[in-house]
Structure 1
Amino acid sequence: MPVFKIQHVTKYHYSRPVKESVNQIRIYPVASAQQEILQQDVTISSDPEPFFFIDYWGNRCADFSVLDAHTSLVIDSRVVVRTIGLETIPDVNSSREELLTLIENDFHLLELSRPEEIKATQALQHILDELACEHKTVMQIVEACSAYIFSQFKYIKGITNIETTVDEILQHRSGVCQDFAHVLLQLLRSMGIPSRYVSGYICPNKNGMRGEGATHAWVEAYIPQLGWSGIDPTNNVWATSHHVKLAVGRNFNDCSPVKGTFKGISRQTLSVYVSVGYEDGHVFEEVNDVQMIVSETEKEADRQLALEEEQQQQQQ
């Protein structure tokens, strides 16, 4: 039963003071039979009072606001977690017919078995035809889809973002963990298998897995006789005691660790720092300068900033 010390720091920097920042965080690891939260401390700059609640998917979340003017926002989570998951997943022979019976009597499973509407239906169907899953068990289908993504898609950082669609990922067949999770969700749901997106951390002990020591994403599929079972298409492994789960949902948007808004005309940057400490004293650190998605409102703010800067230069 390994114990991990995880620090997850999210830092927003604003080029000019902003105010009335309203935020929502999902950075509280799931407490379950598979993982025990031994300690967690979360500090937020300006020390706002968080309002805790459980969302639709069962995730522990918190809302908070920073009303005064500020030029940065830092959210620092430090958690000690013991994972109790199995190192191997029991092999079961449940069929899709057995799964269909369960879905008919459970709206939640039905909701998670419906695929997104995409344009690349032919490309997706080609993959399904190649996998030939008609006579496979549910577990075999999940394993086959994960193995296909692992072998046929390239792991490349920096070419996608949280807004990248399944159509785009299918076209260039590359990306990172969240992209592979979204493709796997589409494949499984297209075959009627309920599945959900999982955010968390992967904490292998220096064995070279992709995404180790950083925020990570994988998928949980509902398998009769087993229930919700996690599989990681980025590494083509079942999620066991080295995967620490933060949140679940239909897709990334339901599991985003931090999201929010503010008032003010400012450019913002985002950096994420993750440190995973292992029982042997080894520490894995990763820092990412996250590519921000620019909305039309932010584009207008950029135009206003550029205009003000130009006017200031003319006055000098």
Structure 2
Amino acid sequence: METYYIKHITKYVYDHPVLDAANQIRLHPINDEFQQVISHYLIITNNAHVQTHTDYNKNVVGSFMITDAITELYIESNIEVNTFKKELPQDTIPPNNQWKELENLKYTEPYVNFLIHRPFTGTNDLSAVIANKNIKQKSVFQALLELCDYVFNVIKYTKGVTNVNSSIDEVWSLKAGVCQDFTNIMLQMVRMCGIPARYVSGYICPNDDITRGEGATHAWIEAYIPFYGWLGFDPTNNIIGNENHVRLAVGRDYNDCAPVKGVFKGNATADLFVKVHVSKAKQNEETLELPETPMSSTKNNSYKRHLERIQQQQQQQQQA
């Protein structure tokens, strides 16, 4: 068993006051047999009240609204969690039986939701890699290990060249990116093989063997192995996702797992600052310094864009 103490700060700074900031958060850690949440509390601007519900993927989703005018939105999540090591597949079942079982599952819930893959500029390249590796001649577990290793080696870990909105085509063209990009490429490959795979958002505890993903939320995949269940694979570090990984949410892609997303009323630029600290030792009243430069800067917001579309439609109807 491992015990982790996690502080995760998200801060939006607006260059003009905004109103009615409505937000959705997936910052509540998963609580199951492999991950036991000891404590979790949130600190949010204006002491906003958070209502929670469970989504289709069994994630706890929080929502809150701040009606007052604000120039800053601060969200702090504090977690104490125990994680437990998962026994790995014994791999004693013949590969043919494993692949047949996947074929039987591909139209059933929830697996069908995690098999959808869309063609992109690298599809032919990945198909060739899958064929050359004779993936379906191997056990599903061994196939996943090889795919994880391939993505780890073909994509260069480079901060700042992509963001959460970068397409998989952009990532493949650059052959570079961060954890989300490694994850998206591996998701594509695994699903192309007919193995259900889901996106995982969470945190990682760096050590001598794990050096990538510190300071922000981390991403990896979980793949379904017949006669075993779901198992995590972290292509950014080329390791099994196990007791060093703390899970926040799972889903089809990043949109299903985004830690924070929301809308507001106002014509403003929002600068986003994020800092995460993961430790094995409890730090009393620990203060985190946010980065000097924002992770991203966005003009406008989805509320205003939606409003503009409505206004355009109304004008067109009036002209007609």
TM-score (norm 2): 0.86
Q: What's 1:171 paired with? A: 173
Q: Report deviation, 1:298.
A: 9.9
The alignment-based identity, stated in percent, is 38
Closer/same/farther in 2, CA of residues 18 and 296 from structure 1, 3 Å limit: closer
Q: What's 1:6 paired with? A: 6
Q: Name the CA distance, whole Å, in 1 between partners of 2:213 and 2:62.
A: 26
Q: What's 2:69 paired with? A: 69
Q: Name the CA distance, whole Å, in 1 between partners of 2:287 and 2:133.
A: 36
Closer/same/farther in 2, CA of residues 293 and 253 from structure 1, 3 Å limit: farther
Instruction: Find out whether 1:91 has 2:90 as its counterpart.
Output: yes
Aligned partners of 1:10 and 1:273 also within 8 Å? yes
Aligned partners of 1:89 and 1:238 also within 8 Å? no
Structure 2: tracts of 5 or more residues without a match = 306-320
Closer/same/farther in 2, CA of residues 298 and 61 from structure 1, 3 Å limit: closer
Aligned partners of 1:274 and 1:286 also within 8 Å? no
Q: 2:85 aligns to what SS in structure 1?
A: coil
Closer/same/farther in 2, CA of residues 50 and 285 from structure 1, 3 Å limit: closer
Q: Name the CA distance, whole Å, in 1 between partners of 2:152 and 2:209.
A: 17
Q: How does 1:53-68 map to 2 (within 5 A)?
A: 53-68=53-68
Q: 2:221 aligns with which of 205, 216, 219?
A: 219
Q: What's 2:314 paired with? A: none
Q: Report deviation, 1:175.
A: 0.6
- Aligned letter for 2:44? I
Q: Report deviation, 1:161.
A: 0.7
Q: Name the CA distance, whole Å, in 2 between partners of 1:226 and 1:217.
A: 22
Q: Name the CA distance, whole Å, in 1 between partners of 2:243 and 2:290.
A: 24
- Any idea what the Cα deviations from partners look like across 1:208-250, whole Å, max 9, x if unmatched? 4211353100000000121111110001111111100000000
Q: Report deviation, 1:9.
A: 0.6
Q: What's 2:197 paired with? A: 195
More displaced 10-residue stretch of structure 1: 122-131 or 47-56: 122-131
Q: What's 1:265 paired with? A: 267
Q: What's 1:235 paired with? A: 237
Q: What's 1:313 paired with? A: none
- Aligned letter for 2:296? Q
Q: 1:259 aligns to what SS in structure 2?
A: strand
Aligned partners of 1:45 and 1:74 also within 8 Å? yes
Q: Name the CA distance, whole Å, in 1 between partners of 2:215 and 2:88.
A: 23
Closer/same/farther in 2, CA of residues 162 and 42 from structure 1, 3 Å limit: same
- Aligned letter for 2:11? K
Q: What's 1:103 paired with? A: 106
Q: Report deviation, 1:118.
A: 2.3
Instruction: Find out whether 1:182 has 2:184 as its counterpart.
Output: yes
TM-score (norm 1): 0.87
RMSD: 2.3
Q: 1:46 aligns to what SS in structure 2?
A: helix
Closer/same/farther in 2, CA of residues 221 and 19 from structure 1, 3 Å limit: same
Aligned partners of 2:264 and 2:301 also within 8 Å? no
- Aligned letter for 2:18? V
Q: 1:168 aligns to what SS in structure 2?
A: helix
Q: What's 2:316 paired with? A: none
- Any idea what the Cα deviations from partners look like across 1:254-301, whole Å, max 9, x if unmatched? 1000000100111110100111121497x997855212355687999x
Q: What's 2:280 paired with? A: 278
- Any idea what the Cα deviations from partners look like across 1:119-157, whole Å, max 9, x if unmatched? 432222233233321311111111111000111210000
Q: Report deviation, 1:43.
A: 1.2
Closer/same/farther in 2, CA of residues 266 and 295 from structure 1, 3 Å limit: closer
Q: 1:107 aligns to what SS in structure 2?
A: coil
Q: What's 2:297 paired with? A: 292
Q: 1:65 aligns to what SS in structure 2?
A: strand
Q: Report deviation, 1:32.
A: 0.6
More displaced 10-residue stretch of structure 1: 69-78 or 136-145: 136-145
Q: 2:136 aligns to what SS in structure 1?
A: coil
Aligned partners of 1:114 and 1:192 also within 8 Å? no
Q: What's 1:314 paired with? A: none
Q: Name the CA distance, whole Å, in 1 between partners of 2:55 and 2:184.
A: 21
- Aligned letter for 1:83? T
- Any idea what the Cα deviations from partners look like across 1:291-314, whole Å, max 9, x if unmatched? 2355687999xxxxxxxxxxxxxx
Instruction: Find out whether 1:47 has 2:37 as its counterpart.
Output: no
- Aligned letter for 1:3? T
Q: What's 2:310 paired with? A: none
Q: Report deviation, 1:168.
A: 1.6
- Aligned letter for 1:96? W
Q: Name the CA distance, whole Å, in 1 between partners of 2:202 and 2:35.
A: 12
Q: 1:98 aligns to what SS in structure 2?
A: helix
Aligned partners of 1:3 and 1:82 also within 8 Å? yes
Closer/same/farther in 2, CA of residues 253 and 275 from structure 1, 3 Å limit: same
